[in-house]
Amino acid sequence: MAITGYGGSMTAQELGLNESMLTTIINASATATTEMNRLGSQVETTGQAMANAMRSDAGIILRNRLQLWRDDYTAIARSFDELNNRAEAMLLALRNANADAGNEAAAG
């Protein structure tokens, strides 16, 4: 699997990534996503309780800021998911390429 982005399309090999590195990336992004979700839930719960308790301009401002935070949080979470999906696809492609090379060597 090649990734496309700022510099065009590149494979794991072109990026100098091996199976171990891709596995580390996948595990780290999954761990970060889990931690982000845990913290995000705490922010939501605490923020909503505070905003509900504040029946003034400060409560309105807090609710508006929470909405901005939600938007940013959603974009970051989506980026982590995309990173993980790309890394998983690259790992699968790399494993398939290695298996194909092994099969060709065995057949040759």
Asked if pLDDT for residue 1 goes beyond 60, the answer is: no
User: What pLDDT does 108 receive?
Assistant: 61
* CA-based radius of gyration for the chain: 21
Whole-angstrom distance, CA of residue 41 vs CA of residue 55: 23
9-32 per-position pLDDT tens digit: 678 888 888 999 999 999 998 898
Domain ranges of the chain: 19-91
Residue of 107 and 40 predicted with greater confidence: 40
* CB atoms near residue 23 (< 10 Å): 13
Q: Phi/psi class of residue 107: alpha, beta or left (left: φ > 0; alpha: ψ in -120 to 50)? A: alpha
What percent of the chain has a predicted confidence (pLDDT) above 90? 34
State the average pLDDT for the chain.
Answer: 84
At 56 the three-state DSSP class reads coil
Q: Which two tokens stand for residue 56?
A: 């003034």
User: What pLDDT does 104 receive?
Assistant: 66
Cα–Cα distances in angstroms (integers) from residue 14 to residues 8, 48, 71, 103, in the given order: 12, 47, 34, 22
63-75 per-position pLDDT tens digit: 899 999 999 999 9
User: What pLDDT does 98 receive?
Assistant: 81
User: What pLDDT does 8 receive?
Assistant: 54
